[in-house]
Amino acid sequence: MTTIRRRMRALALLAPLALAALLTGCADATVAAEPLQGAWVLTSGADARGAFIDAASPITLEVEGRDFSGRSTCNSYSGTLDPSMGGLGLGSFATTEAACADPEQMELEGRYYAALGEVERAERSAGELVLTGPGVELVFAAD
């Protein structure tokens, strides 16, 4: 198995955990007052290594009712929110496991998923959703 495929499989396994952390971390009063419902496009992302985003491959997150879905640089993800898990708990989750043709795209996807895993707070205002955590900031615009 090539190194790229191993990394891609590892990312696919980490993606559900990262999104679970994101959605659980978003269960604060700010988000409770104005739910995450809607379609979002990542406009900026930063981690300890600096800024990351590729305008040619938009990263999306959409929440409709109890369902969520999105597209990262190479793969799609979808699942169901489960409020019984507390806050915006994550129910089931699935992601495609396509390997990126471009190693840079795969790296961006990995950084995005890792950043999601660090999110502890969400704020929504004026058509923006800002997710932050230790050393990470993800800013989404309403789509």
Kind plus residue range of the DSSP H or E element containing 41: strand 38-47
* Tokens describing residue 8: 């891609």
Q: Which residues have a Cβ under 8 Å from the Cβ of 64 and sit 6 or more positions away?
A: 37
Cα–Cα dist 39/17, whole Å: 21
* pLDDT tens track for 37-74: 889 999 999 999 999 988 888 999 897 887 878 999 99
Residue-wise pLDDT for 105-122, tens only, equals: 999 988 987 887 777 777
pTM of the model: 0.69
Q: What percent of the chain has pLDDT over 90?
A: 27
Domains of the chain in sequence order: 3-142 (2.40.128.270)
Closest to 75 measured CA to CA, from 94, 54, 53: 94
132 confidence band (pLDDT: 50, 70, 90): confident
